Amino acid sequence: MKPEDFIRGLKGRRIRSLDRRGKYLIFQLDKGTLVGHLGMTGQLTYWRKGIKDSPVFVKHPLTGLQKTPSQHAIDKHTHLLLNLDNGDRLQYRDIRQFGHWRLFKKDEWSLHPSLKKLGLEPLGPQYTWARFQTAFAGRRGKIKALLLSQGPVAGLGNIYADEALHAAGILPMKRAENLTGPQWRALFRAIPRVLKKALSRGGTTFSDFRGADGRPGRGARVLRVYGRFGKKCFRCGAGLKKTRVSQRTTVYCPGCQK
Ligand SMILES: [Zn+2]
């Protein structure tokens, strides 16, 4: 779709609902569907008319990425603006530009290749032990890679895949076909628990994440393995180790993950 068609397709539309599927945001419009993915550094914020924009961007000391203390003015990293009829707007800012937005006619969005392959929603009512077993049946390969693939279960990125596996006591590089019955049970329980805990605290601010209200998430305070390489495991006291699975940095505990 050309940018002009994207703009024309959004003009005058009414947002009927906002859903999430895996890591996708789904705006159901009165005509068509807007689907967004924040990638690694995307921030979707609600900008209020009449509130002062923050004049400064603060640079993160490690990553060099920018954050704002409050709502920010449009700048060169702002790639999408949805002007609402009350004068407020939704602003999408993405420095690394791994995120993307697409507009679909009617229900075609669910046929999108990345959305079609999405597995069980861990926080949805369909998440049952029976469906969980079916979702993983016959799947082979490292358990963390399977979680990152979004195929059996949707919504776990690098951070929460590590957290869920630590909570379940499973080594990230362990192959799915070698997991024991109790390990599957533990993983089934750990996934929604870890996600709920993170959501209740507003997500994880690893570098520059902002909630829709512009505030940093507080999830980083509850991370037990991610970003803690070399530190002691909160559960068993062993030193946390680092490896790579699916080209992603992976932190695990050699003491309590089997
Ligand atoms: Zn441990």
Residues 35-79: tens digit of each pLDDT: 999 887 788 888 999 888 887 777 766 545 566 667 888 888 899
**Residue bearing the bigger pLDDT, 223 or 250:** 250
d(CA 197, ligand 1 centre) in Å: 19
Contact 208, 65 (CB under 8 A): yes
Question: pLDDT tens digits for 21-33?
Answer: 888 899 999 999 9
d(CA 146, ligand 1 centre) in Å: 22
CA 157-33-78 angle, 5° bins: 65
Q: How many CB atoms lie within 10 A of CB 120?
A: 21
| pLDDT at position 108 | 85
d(CA 236, ligand 1 centre) in Å: 4
Which residues are registered as beta bridge partners of 175?
142
Contact 101, 36 (CB under 8 A): yes
d(CA 170, ligand 1 centre) in Å: 10
d(CA 252, ligand 1 centre) in Å: 8
d(CA 224, ligand 1 centre) in Å: 10
d(CA 185, ligand 1 centre) in Å: 19
Amino acid in the structure at residue 105: K
d(CA 142, ligand 1 centre) in Å: 20
> Which two three-digit tokens encode residue 178?
């070698």
d(CA 167, ligand 1 centre) in Å: 9
* CA distance linking residue 25 with residue 69, whole number of Å: 24
* Average of per-residue pLDDT across 190-216: 69
- Report residues near ion ligand 1: CB below 5 Å: 233, 235-236, 238, 253, 255-256
d(CA 199, ligand 1 centre) in Å: 24
CA 246-248-254 angle, 5° bins: 95
Percent of the chain with pLDDT over 70: 88
44-72 b/e (C-beta count within 10 Å ≥ 16 → b): bbebeeeeeeeeeeeeeeeeebbbbeebb
Contact 186, 169 (CB under 8 A): yes
Which residues are registered as beta bridge partners of 241?
252
* CA distance linking residue 70 with residue 47, whole number of Å: 10
